[in-house]
Chains A and B, each alone.
Chain A
Amino acid sequence: MRSAPSRPVRRPGRLALSDTRATGRVEVAGLTWRPYGRKVPVLRDLDLTIEAGERVLLVGPSGSGKSTLLRALAGLLETADAGELSGTVTLDGVAPGDRPGSVGLVLQEPGAGVVAATVARDVAFGPENVGMPRAEMPGRVASALAAVRLAPDRGAVADSQVLPASGVDEVAGLGGAAGAWPTSALSGGQTQRLALAGALALEPSLLLLDEPTAMLDAENAQSVRAAVDEVVTARGLTLVVVEHLLGPWVDLVDRLVVLDEDGAVVADGPVRETLASEGERLLATGVWVPGAPAPTPIEVDPALVTRASTRHTESALAATELTVARTTRTVDGVATTRVAARTSEPLVVGAGQLHALVGPSGSGKSTILHALAGFLTPTTGRVETRTGQVVADLDPAGLAAHVAWVPQWSSSTIVARTVLDEVLVTAQALGRLDAGSETRARALLDVLGLGPLASADPRQLSGGEQRRLAVAAALFHGPELVLADEPTVGQDRHTWAAVVGLLAAYRSGGGAIVTATHDAHVITLAGDRVHRLTAPPAAPGPRGGEPLLAGRGPLALLLGSALAVPAGVLSPGWRPSLVLLGIQLVLAVSGLVSARSGVIAPLRALLTRLVPGLLAAVSVAWSTWLLGGRDLALAGNGLTRVLLIVLPSAVLLPFIDTDRLGDQLAQTLHLPDRPVVAVSAAMHRMQSFGQIWEEIARARRIRGVAATWRRPATIVGHVLALTVGLLLRALRSAAELAVAMDARGFARAQRRTWFHPARWTWGDTALVALSALPALVAVAFVMVVR
């Protein structure tokens, strides 16, 4: 490592506890931070000293700057924002970023900081950034994983499609399992413990947790708290936790610091005494104080959210027992079908009823809501409206009139430019606006504390505000049924009381609600209409021999597809091209076919991937035929040339493993480390970006603003809205990941080491040589023609 660490880096495997002097003393003096574009500072002239080994719970109303203070303690304020910063923050006398990894940070959203496809590689990210020799990494990774008690279940690894990469076998104590354990297979709680392990791998002296359990169910939250308690004790760490649900943390900390709305410290002391003396003030600011009774839902005038058609009082929706199965296919066409969600009883939702879907994360609550909303067609069972129509068959207007949706990601349903319009938009699309609509919408916003923001851009709101807005926007046009995915997450006592009060008013006006929730108070409100879902068992992955192409290096795969370009360009006509295509097909079949897949499945999968290429080839042939004097031979030349160029890509490229691509780009081609890491991280999220696109499209459909082919202008607007929505989510995840990565030493990682070596194998050489064959034959044809 080039930049000399300010303190000798401890030997791997040794615990901080054994250090003679305690470290982790934090001193904040006169800290002021005003992000550009805000009139008043988020933090103003803040002083705070935290002794080494102290455990602090940091609380305050939303908007008080708790998360901002955590980022300041990590030295990451300016990582994802720009603003005016003054004052000092030191950790053991130096700036927090001086020794990379001296501060560990765990963010609220599980997965926001995941950088790699496998658990072991993800934990190794910090050590890679500080240039730790590869030989020392497995020990460090194993000890960090053991500290958070993260080990794969039996089967989780065997079922993964991730190829066991060389060099992982040494991960001590895990039998190499963590090396092939995909991060995508982790539950929310496991993902948060993974983030904790990632922080521990750099042996921090200060651990910062930003609402680490806010998005988890009770069981997962408990597993995270237990892991935190254990590692903080074992390693003698200084701990600062931000949480708005204080109860479960009180026993884990010894000091409570309270911030007010202006970002100033208003109370500070031993946790129990401070809770006792400040309880009233905390309750008044909306903090969930342990032991306090549940807040009373506020009274809301039912006229604000009465459903439009009150004539019918019978069921709003009727679903039989449902099963939703998902089929995934490997690159060589082997299908695996697994049950994603199932209900064990019919679900008949009557007017005015509240039904709660409960169960651990991963039990398919959101999937069932999607099936009820008609976003997907259940594999078995039916979902029908009161009039017997299948929900999935409704047109956008019919769907919006009947069903509304409050999604888990409320930012993705935003379709309007102001908060007020956001509330009105569905009613407008359905022609339900009248003279009193705007007054009613403003009253609704007032109930939710959003009144002053009526003309603000909804995308600028905080997460909690957006969620409340989503509730208002779902109820305003008076649908018969609202499907709400975790509508109360992240709300303080006041806003919780408003949301729950509003839902109650909607019910008293005849509206029906189905909600997926972990919120114990909401579950109580549902009474005996609670439907418990259990996680369906994981399906075993395909067994048996893999195709020859599996496990080939990404560079070889890219090179193999590249070699098709000269073959296509050089081929002197359609007859030689047909010969070359024949060679390519033989190679493709021998690379794709295996014992597990047979012959038909991989060829069918290949043909599916080739459809766009075939269309392109036909269109090139068509245009050539048109202007080439309608000469069939010329058209044939164009057609076969495009196929020659495209076929090998369709065979080879889907086999690329994005993590290994990063390894090879950096270690084999010696491209700059930081961009390479960023490219793999982005490619790693490809799939989730595809899902976001779908989610935004669904949200627009159910809000009644979907495009129709009858008005082409709406199509353009629709595509533009989807693109901007996707880009916004991409930008947000990039900003979150930047914070998570810099907390693990990425900011200064100019010379990284790599957990996995990038080996070029004989198989790779053979692949490239065989891929060159058609190009060589093409050259021979050219010489013969001459």
Chain B
Amino acid sequence: MPRSIRATAPLMAWRTIDILTITFLGAAFGIAYWGWGLAYQAPSTALTTIFPPLAGITGAPWLIAGVVGGLIVRRPGAALLCEVVAALVSMIPGTQWGFTTLISGILQGLGAELAFAILGYGAYGLAAAMFAGAMSAPLEAVYEWFVYWTDWGWSYKIAYLVILTAAGAVIAGGLGWVITRALAAAGALGAFPPGQEAREARAV
């Protein structure tokens, strides 16, 4: 497997385009999140009728911004900031979760950030993306236990955590990786490491 290209050193030296790209991606995902918030109700209700913790599947798309932000900019804080901005933007026009959207955004972003930090901000392949997607889930799931699923038994709570984590790996991680590749292939990431990877792949 080819090694991932790191962000330019020093890692903490955010360029203007890094910051703006993260916040703009966050805002775009925020719009998409808001739309998903309107559309997810039907599939979610269908799944929860079968088995309530399956709500974790329809919850996973909300984890994607952190993964994509981290995969593109590859600097410490990128995943967290991207997910928080997405939460903030989806919250302002009005969502079903109100202010807790922002709390969720922080917890989900922290999870993804932690994953990239564990990998030393040096691995950004599909496996790393799925790891970050999975890691976005646990903090969020535990938080939801206390705010939304207070009346569930432990078996359901654990099942929810496992399902959200698995769905996070596949949906947020896998799809996030696909989206990042698509953006790089479209030539839109010229100033970032994934754009460089795409060009090198083509050069071979």
Interface residues in chain A, defined as those with a beta carbon under 8 Å from any beta carbon in chain B: 35-37, 79-82, 457, 459-460, 558, 561-562, 564-565, 568-569, 609-610, 612-613, 615-617, 619-620, 622-624, 626-628, 634, 637-638, 641-642, 645-650, 653-654, 656, 674-675, 678-679, 681-683, 685-686, 689-690, 693, 720, 722-724, 726-735, 737-738, 741-742, 746-747
Contact = CB atoms under 8 A, between A and B. Distances in A.
A653 B27 contact: no
A457 B186 contact: yes
Contact of B151 (A82, A634, A645, A737): A634
Contacts of A653: 91-92, 94, 98-99
A610 B96 CA distance: 7
B125 interface: no
B23 A675 contact: yes
B131 to A, nearest CB: 22
Given A638-B150, A726-B31, A730-B27, 5 more contacts: A82-B195, A634-B151, A723-B32, A730-B24, A741-B20
Given A36-B190, A735-B191, A622 B28 contact: no
B20 A686 contact: no
A612 B52 contact: no
Given A565-B100, A653-B92, A624 B20 contact: no
B139 to A, nearest CB: 16
B52 A626 contact: yes
6 contacts: A79-B16, A558-B102, A569-B147, A656-B92, A686-B27, A693-B31
Most buried by A among B85, B95, B188: B188
Contact of B44 (A619, A648, A733): A619
A460 B203 CA distance: 16
B89 interface: yes
A747 B148 CA distance: 43
Contact of A624 (B17, B151, B186): B151
Interface string B180-192: 0011011111110
The 6 closest A-B pairs by CB, nearest first: A649-B98, A616-B96, A37-B199, A682-B23, A612-B96, A609-B94
A735 B96 contact: no
B4 interface: no
Interface residues of B, number: 69
B55 interface: yes
Interface in B113-156: 146-148, 150-153, 156
A678 B52 contact: no
Contacts of A634: 151
Nearest to A641: B150
Most buried by A among B89, B148, B185: B148
B61 to A, nearest CB: 9
B20 A82 contact: no
Nearest to A647: B98
A731 B25 contact: yes
B105 interface: no
A427 to B, nearest CB: 24
Contacts of A649: 91, 94-95, 97-99
Given A613-B98, A649-B91, A726-B32, A81 B26 contact: no
Given A79-B15, A731-B24, A619 B41 contact: yes
Interface in B1-60: 14-17, 19-32, 35, 37-38, 41, 44-45, 48-49, 52, 55
A407 B45 CA distance: 38
B184 to A, nearest CB: 10
A681 B25 CA distance: 12
Given A562-B99, A637-B151, A735 B17 contact: yes
Contacts of B26: 682
Contacts of A650: 94, 98
A686 B92 contact: yes
B80 to A, nearest CB: 11
Nearest to A619: B45
Contacts of A457: 185-187
B96 A613 contact: yes
Interface in B54-92: 55, 68, 81, 85, 88-89, 91-92
Nearest to A414: B186
Contact of A79 (B17, B37, B88, B152): B17
A686 B95 contact: no
Contacts of A724: 179, 182-183, 186
Contacts of A746: 16
Nearest to B192: A82
B99 A561 contact: yes
A624 B182 CA distance: 41
Given A569-B146, A682-B24, A675 B81 contact: yes
B16 to A, nearest CB: 5
B188 A645 contact: no
A737 B20 contact: yes
Contact of B97 (A459, A637, A645): A645
B52 to A, nearest CB: 5
A747 B14 CA distance: 10
Contact of B41 (A460, A615, A734): A615
A565 B103 contact: yes
A774 to B, nearest CB: 13
Contact of A627 (B24, B156, B196, B199): B156
B189 A731 contact: yes
Given A623-B55, A681-B20, A724-B179, A693 B35 contact: yes
Contacts of B32: 693, 722-723, 726
A37 B202 contact: yes
Contacts of A81: 190-191
A628 B188 contact: no
B156 to A, nearest CB: 7
B93 to A, nearest CB: 7
Contacts of A610: 94
A763 B68 CA distance: 40
B20 A645 contact: no
Nearest to A606: B94
Contacts of A623: 48, 52, 55
Contacts of B156: 627
Nearest to A626: B52
Most buried by B among A35, A647, A734, A741: A734
A645 B23 contact: no
Contacts of A720: 175, 179
Contacts of A722: 32
Contacts of B196: 36, 82
A715 B194 CA distance: 28
Nearest to A615: B41
A612 B96 CA distance: 5
A679 B99 contact: no
A205 to B, nearest CB: 22
A734 B20 contact: yes
B133 to A, nearest CB: 16
A558 B25 contact: no
Contacts of B28: 689, 726-727, 729-730
B168 to A, nearest CB: 17
Nearest to B28: A730
Nearest to A677: B19
Nearest to A83: B190
A36 B93 CA distance: 40
A574 B181 CA distance: 49
Nearest to B36: A719
Contacts of B55: 623
A565 B99 contact: yes
A615 B96 contact: yes
A690 to B, nearest CB: 6
A723 to B, nearest CB: 5
B31 A564 contact: no
Given A82-B190, A724-B182, A731 B99 contact: no
B101 to A, nearest CB: 8
Contacts of B199: 36-37
Contacts of B81: 675
Contacts of B189: 731
Given A558-B99, A693-B31, A678 B94 contact: no
